[in-house]
Amino acid sequence: MNIYFRKSNNKNSRAGFSVFELIFAVGLLALVGFALTTLLATASRVNAQDAMLTTASQAAQRELERIKNTVKTSNDFLALASTPKAFVSDDPRYIYQVTVEEENSSLKYVGVNIYPAMTVGAATDPETAAGKRIIRIGTYLMRP
């Protein structure tokens, strides 16, 4: 199969692109560029939210494990109570609050709420500095 290319000898034929084609191409490139920029901005925001959720989950899990390890006797179980909001000791960007709900005389639900600290600093009151809750995890503890 032979393919032949002919060069146009027509003096009126013009090589190149028309103005309409150029405007269309530039517009298409601008649209694709805008879409990619929006995609990258959204991905960056979601990534930051995921990092915050992961850090908050780890802080809540550490606090819950600390509480579980302190309940060794029946007296420890009876003394288990809710706490006011306080800054997470190793990450002052977060505030935690422990809630204890007694299900019956030998079973308690212990929940840990994590909030973002709206302002970071030692002089800030955690009760007023807490934002909207990020995460709550909990577990049931039985009387030893």
Domain that holds residue 31: 19-142
pTM above 0.75, yes or no: no
Q: In angstroms, what CA-CA distances link 137 with 34, 38, 88, 113, 134?
A: 40, 34, 15, 7, 10
Q: Is 12 contained in some domain?
A: no
Contact 98, 106 (CB under 8 A): no
Q: Say how far apart CA 85 and CA 128 lie, in whole Å.
A: 9
Alpha helices in 1-144 (DSSP H): 19-70, 74-79, 126-129
- Summarised one tens digit per residue, pLDDT across range 83-105 is 998 888 888 889 999 999 999 99
Question: Higher confidence at residue 10 or residue 47?
Answer: 47
Give the model's pLDDT for residue 127.
73
Q: Is 87 contained in some domain?
A: yes
Q: Is 11 contained in some domain?
A: no
Counted domains in the chain:
1
